[in-house]
Amino acid sequence: MNRDEVIRKLTCLIDVCQDGEDCCYVAAQGVVSPAFEALLMAHSSQWGDFAEQLADMVTILGGDPDLDHYPMGVAGQGWAELKSMAQGSSESAILHECLRLEAEALQIYQEALEVLPTPVSRMVVRQSRLLDETYQAMGMLCGPPVLEWPQSQRREGYLSGENPRVVS
């Protein structure tokens, strides 16, 4: 993978992080549970931190995270739907939509991990692991059924590419 391809993949992840930051912030405004609101606000901040880390890596590689913007679009529509849900849906519906979007984001991270070179992938692995931990914490708030990544699909704290399964 050449430098420009790495930069494009990282800017795609930046888009995912920016969408996640916005989504979690807006979703937190639509929930009543203090625990869920706190989790969403912390996760919004985490997404923002990840975007900054990825932008720093793009800069180190000689790119400009603003000028080399790679429009993602995949999760953008889902995040927009969640924003509208946060204004009038039940907390359960908001949580389930957050979980669905988190699973999509984790899949995008996994796809990036399959092609990124090792020096860059170390940071992405760490971010993916932390995102998965938050995903699991959100699932615990949701109660059954939750999406669970099969244990056989976990490798060194990050996911190896298969979709989650519903468990009860």
Are the C-beta atoms of 13 and 109 separated by less than 8 Å? yes
Q: If 0-12 CB within 10 Å is exposed, 13-18 middle and 19+ buried, where does residue 72 land?
A: middle
Tens-digit pLDDT profile for residues 26-47? 889 888 889 889 989 999 999 9
Q: Would you say the pTM of this structure is higher than 0.85?
A: no
Are the C-beta atoms of 120 and 64 separated by less than 8 Å? no
Tens-digit pLDDT profile for residues 71-88? 444 455 565 666 666 666
Q: Does domain 3-142 have CATH number 3.30.450.20?
A: no
Q: Structural domain boundaries of the chain?
A: 3-142
Neighbours of 104 (CB within 10 A): 16
